[in-house]
């Protein structure tokens, strides 16, 4: 596979293009499977002390976005066109979340992929997301 961006380049891109959320995320692994860590803090919790759904959505969205970028290069204008997420179990209290992204199809105009979200130290995924991205035309 011809990778355009490695783990270090993806982390640097995230810090440069999205400084408002860059401290929340860290690419742990890149390649066929991209693993993105979300450092869970109090601001990610909903009443009852569990990680909020929007936080898990953000992890899935950013994980697939970066999986696409590692193949295409830094295309900041690729956008989510669809997402479906299933919340399967409550994440472990205080544990980081890890999203593992797999691209199922990377076409000229659309990319489709899945993200499994695990709570560190907990058996089984806490959520599963299927996403579609629109890829901007190359100049």
Query: Are residues 96 and 37 in contact, defined by beta-carbon separation less than 8 angstroms?
Result: yes
The fourth-level CATH superfamily of domain 7-134 is Hotdog Thioesterase (3.10.129.10)
Whole-angstrom Cα distance, residue 52 to residue 55? 5
pLDDT at 94: 82
Q: Which residues touch 47 (CB under 8 Å, ≥6 apart)? A: none
In sequence order, the 6+-apart residues with CB closer than 8 A to the CB of 95 are 40, 119, 120, 121, 122
Extract the residue ranges of the chain whose pLDDT is less than 50: none
pLDDT digits (tens, 9 = 90+) for 106-121: 999 999 999 999 999 9
Strand order from edge to edge, sheet including 79-87: 25-29, 34-38, 97-106, 110-119, 125-134, 79-87
Confidence (pLDDT) at 2:
77
Check residue 90 and give its pLDDT: 92
**pLDDT value of position 48:** 82
């Amino acid at each position: 596979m011809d990778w355009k961006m490695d783990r270090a380049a993806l982390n640097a891109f995230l810090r440069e293009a999205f400084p408002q959320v860059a401290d929340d995320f860290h690419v742990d692994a890149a390649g066929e499977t991209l693993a993105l860590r979300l450092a869970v803090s109090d601001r990610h919790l909903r009443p009852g002390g569990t990680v909020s759904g929007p936080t898990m959505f953000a992890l899935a969205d950013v994980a697939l976005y970066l999986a696409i970028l590692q193949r295409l290069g830094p295309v900041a204008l690729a956008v989510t066109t669809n997402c479906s997420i299933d919340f399967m179990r409550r994440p472990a209290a205080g544990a980081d979340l890890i999203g593992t992204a797999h691209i199922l199809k990377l076409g000229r105009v659309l990319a489709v992929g899945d993200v499994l979200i695990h709570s560190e130290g907990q058996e089984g995924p806490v959520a599963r997301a299927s996403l579609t991205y629109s890829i901007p035309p190359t100049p």
